[in-house]
Amino acid sequence: MDYKSSGVNIDAGNQFVDYIKNKVGRTFTPNVLNGIGGFASLFSLQNLGIDLNKAVMVSSTDGVGTKVKIAQKMNKHDTIGIDLVAMCVNDLICQGALPLFFLDYIACGSIHQPTVQSIMDGIVSGCLDGKMSLIGGETAEMPGVYESGVYDLAGFSVGIVESDNMLPNLPSMKEGDLLIGLHSSGLHSNGFSLARKIFEKLNIHYDDECDIDKSKSWGEYLLTPTKIYVDICTKLKKYVKGFAHITGGGITENLPRILPKSFVAKIDRKSWSVESTIFSYMRGKIDIESLSNEEMYRVFNMGIGMIAVFDATNLEKIREILNESGEKFSEIGYLGKSDSDEPFVEYI
């Protein structure tokens, strides 16, 4: 009797670690003080352009939800790691933070090298896009907890910001401030439990041809990775009072998280189009009595992945930055005052 006979293959784990070592070095900055393989990772805070006397550490952890079930069904694992990084770092930058490093956790029934290597390739790609060093993680084989071919992912990201530059800047927000929505790349990594139920109800299979993009199957289309907004938010940050990452809860529940009390965000749903997207497709296929607009806007991002709040005097500068960056965006509303103690969203 040995560990391998119980379902845990130490040699396979070591083989994966060797693969990781050859990949993650691409994400390292000079602040990474040791490589993969130690008991813990070391990261220096020197030479970041940050006043360490004002430094605030910022952290975020997340997963990708039931989107992993589609990746497993399709046996396509090269983008799910990008989703993992995106879900963490997009939250991080909402605090105005400079992303520093990322750690991952992969739990599975047994290590299947092509699968975990493909996941890792996505994580590395996401870290490069998110300007973070991948400095550590854990791959856990748990036979009896996870069936063969089944896995789950979690990520953890850390950033830093000077206390003077933290977001959201609630005291500066006022009536008449404007809202711009940065477009999403699709569902991102939220609402898949409902989306999968809709597809089941419609008897659509993931290997069927996608009605929206006929060059792909539905599974490939749904696995479009979550957009990482680090570059564009970094460019906009000095002109913005707050960013809201539109994840689970949609615009309805996420935008109020960055607003002061007694404020209402007035959102014009007609200011951007969700035509020919997954959102309009699902909405058009399901009876409104079964899936209301209100529910859609509480579950899905509805084509808006990040919202910026800013003073109207900065509108032209923000438009200029967005256009020069080739960013797809819509001017979606403004802030007003309300009699409510808590901030909320009103669709107009």
Q: Which of 165, 196, 223 is the last residue of a domain?
A: 165
**DSSP code of residue 30:** T
Strands 98-108 and 133-141: parallel
Domain co-membership, 15 together with 122 = yes
Domain range enclosing 57: 4-165
Domain co-membership, 155 together with 288 = no
How would DSSP label each residue in 215-277?
Answer: TSBHHHHHTPPPPP-HHHHHHHGGG-SEEEE--TTHHHHHGGGGS-TTEEEEE-GGGS--TTS
Q: What token pair was written down for 93?
A: 């930058």
Task: Starting at the earlier edge strand, list the strands of the sheet with 242-245.
Answer: 242-245, 304-310, 178-183, 329-337, 263-267, 344-347
Q: Which of 122, 140, 165 is the last residue of a domain?
A: 165
* Segment 233-275, tens digit of pLDDT: 999 999 999 999 999 999 999 999 999 999 999 999 999 987 6
Residues 6+ apart with CB under 8 A from 216: 209, 210
Report, as an integer, the average pLDDT of 55-75: 97
H/E run at residue 103: strand 98-108
Q: Which of 124, 142, 165 is the last residue of a domain?
A: 165
What pTM, to 2 d.p., does this model score?
A: 0.94
Q: Is the peptide bond before 256 cis (omega within 30 degrees of 0)?
A: no
Cα dist. 72→96, 150, 151, 219 in Å? Answer: 35, 7, 8, 10
Q: Which residue type is seen at 291?
A: L
* Segment 278-301, tens digit of pLDDT: 998 888 887 656 788 889 999 999
Domain co-membership, 64 together with 206 = no
Cα 79 → chain centroid: 12
Residues 6+ apart with CB under 8 A from 56: 160, 161, 162, 163, 166
Q: Lowest mean pLDDT: which of 123-127, 291-295, 296-300, 311-315?
A: 291-295
- How many beta carbons lie within 10 A of that of residue 322, not counting itself? 18
Domain co-membership, 177 together with 139 = no
CB 233 within 8 A of CB 99: no
Domain co-membership, 80 together with 124 = yes
Reported as a pLDDT band with limits 50, 70 and 90, residue 153 is: very high
